[in-house]
Structure 1
């Protein structure tokens, strides 16, 4: 797999996991989310997957992350680390807020990146 293909794959993984997370809660509100441990686990695993792909992009393609500061790479990796290492310290309202406010933006930003890079920019 070429570097370009690998980068595209990591971006796809980020976007796919973000979409899945949003899908897991599409029929829930915050109260129901806080009561649904199974969905919490699914959503937080999706965040881990988003963060892991972001971490790989940062490690393998540091120039790319520098060229695209609109993506909060460090915050994404920080969320992944918090979930992976301090899961029981998570505040589900914060997870919910991040899910609702940040993931739609991330999906749109990755769409933009992918379309620009497909066109050769």
Structure 2
């Protein structure tokens, strides 16, 4: 049986994105840069977001093609950098990802989450 898991993958991405924001809530950049636990927690969240995006890209390529404005490839690239270059990451970029990119990602996920209502 081939179950459609698109909504599950999108929900996984949302949960991980929201978690990354909660990990840094109330922090200043300098606090993040000196807090290895939060760095690791955010890094793991970014990996989960990326893994879910990769699964969508591999399992539902038509869905991905129908949503070209969503940053699929950038998400996969960030996941790869975090997963394979963890000790050489620029933590300032990770911080700015949580402050700028993750909120935008959540807005994009809202749009993707409505794909059934849009006629798909």
What TM-score, normalized by structure 1, do the two folds share? 0.93
Compute the displacement of 1:120 (Å).
5.0
Q: Which moved more, 1:107-116 or 1:28-37?
A: 107-116
The SS at the match of 2:114 is helix
Number of the residue aligned with 1:61: 60
Structure 1 alignment gaps of length 5 or more: none
Task: Name segments (4+ residues, structure 1) moved above 4 Å.
Answer: none
Number of the residue aligned with 2:11: 12
Q: Which moved more, 1:48-57 or 1:81-90?
A: 81-90
**2:49 pairs with 1:50:** yes
Number of the residue aligned with 1:2: 3
Number of the residue aligned with 2:78: 79
**CA shift digits 1:32-58 (9 cap, x unpaired):** 000100000000000000000000000
Structure 2 alignment gaps of length 5 or more: none
The SS at the match of 2:25 is coil
**CA shift digits 1:37-85 (9 cap, x unpaired):** 0000000000000000000000001111111112111110111111111
CA distance in 2, matches of 1:111, 1:19: 13
What TM-score, normalized by structure 2, do the two folds share? 0.94
**Root-mean-square deviation (Å):** 1.1
Q: Which moved more, 1:66-75 or 1:46-55?
A: 66-75
